[in-house]
A = this chain, B = another copy of it.
Amino acid sequence: MTGVLRPGHVQLRVLDMEAGVHHYRDILGMQETGRDAEGRVYLKCRDEFDHHSIILRETDQAGMDFVGFKVLDLPTLDDFEKKLQAYGVETHRIAAGDLLETGERVRFTTPSGHQVELYAEKTLVGNGCGDTNPKPWDPKVTHGISPVRMDHLLLFGPNVPETLKLFTEVLGFNLVERVLGPDGETNIIVFLSCSIKSHDIAFAHYDEPGKLHHVSFLMDSWEQVLRGGDIMSMEDVPVDIGPTRHGVTRGQTIYAWDPSGNRFEIFKEDRQPYPDHPPLTWTLDGLGAGGGLDYVQRKLHETFLSVVT
């Protein structure tokens, strides 16, 4: 158990802001909650309480600028900053207000080459259902594919074992599942949780650092995953894999690409691991023919290991 709550925001690079906003707001169905002086656009999912979970920045190369994890409170933030520094990780503070409605952030670089940050404060705007005798969901913010929340990320880069060590030993994440490399020993993909979610973040080996494999959005049900797939088809969103079940994490999934080529996932969670259970292990063959990636098809789709941003 740790003081890291969840991945709270991801800044995505998009090649065309208008197309990006259309995708995340109108097709995926997030709410636009703000734009800043740099032209960045902020969005949230329908059941998120915080001001935003996705930030879009227009530039000429797709990918992820950074992912931020919300921690319990300011003392917890200070504590993690010290622990990171004691572990030998260089950190720096980004001032409150650099992101709209967001407090100070502690930024560091992972061994996999990703910019990760921790923060304790972001304005709670609520989910529209009210605090007293609340509705279960708010029809006014329910449109498009309509995920519950931004849920987790899979990042590609080098030094997976070192990154795993950092997240487990310093940040208190649990290793929930893992894929072993050809040597049958080295972790080449690790799925990490700071809660009882099947994963809050995952890292896979890739020679180039700092790459994004996908950002995942949580759906309420397998029925809603198909409905999301229908909408992708109607809206000409290119689909990569699915609908199917992942063997790894058991999640029910569709992978697709946003207009800039950033992969995203809609998925229904189907497992809640606890830290007293040993991690599940997948062999490299298990990832493909064993159904780790696609449990129904039992095949390793070629794009899975090769297409990142």
* Residues of chain B within 8 A of A245, CB atoms compared: 136, 226, 229-230
* Residues of chain B within 8 A of A231, CB atoms compared: 139
- A282 touching B133, Cβ below 8 Å: yes
Choice from B3, B239, B278 contacting A131 with Cβ under 8 Å: B278
* Residues of chain B within 8 A of A132, CB atoms compared: 280-283, 286
Q: Interface residue count for A (Cβ, 8 Å)?
A: 60
A88 CB-CB contact with B under 8 Å: no
- A230 touching B137, Cβ below 8 Å: yes
Closest residue of chain B to A273 (Cβ to Cβ) is B49
Binds B, one of A79-87, A155-163, A247-255: A247-255
Closest residue of chain B to A290 (Cβ to Cβ) is B133
- B124 touching A277, Cβ below 8 Å: yes
Query: CA A269 – CA B230 in complex, angstroms?
Result: 15
Q: How many copies does the complex hold?
A: 4
Closest residue of chain B to A296 (Cβ to Cβ) is B229
- B223 touching A280, Cβ below 8 Å: no
Query: CA A245 – CA B113 in complex, angstroms?
Result: 39
- Least Cβ distance of A257 to chain B in Å? 13
Given A231-B139, A281-B132, the answer on whether A72 and B286 have CB atoms closer than 8 Å is: no
- B292 touching A239, Cβ below 8 Å: no
* Residues of chain B within 8 A of A239, CB atoms compared: 296-298
What 16 new A-B contacts, CB under 8 Å, besides A1-B2, A136-B270? A1-B3, A5-B275, A49-B274, A72-B275, A124-B278, A131-B280, A132-B282, A133-B291, A136-B245, A197-B272, A226-B245, A229-B296, A230-B296, A239-B297, A239-B298, A243-B296
A-B contact pairs, 22 of them (CB 8 A): A49-B276, A72-B275, A132-B280, A132-B281, A133-B290, A134-B280, A135-B234, A136-B250, A136-B270, A139-B231, A221-B222, A222-B222, A226-B252, A226-B296, A229-B244, A230-B295, A232-B296, A233-B291, A233-B295, A233-B296, A233-B298, A243-B296
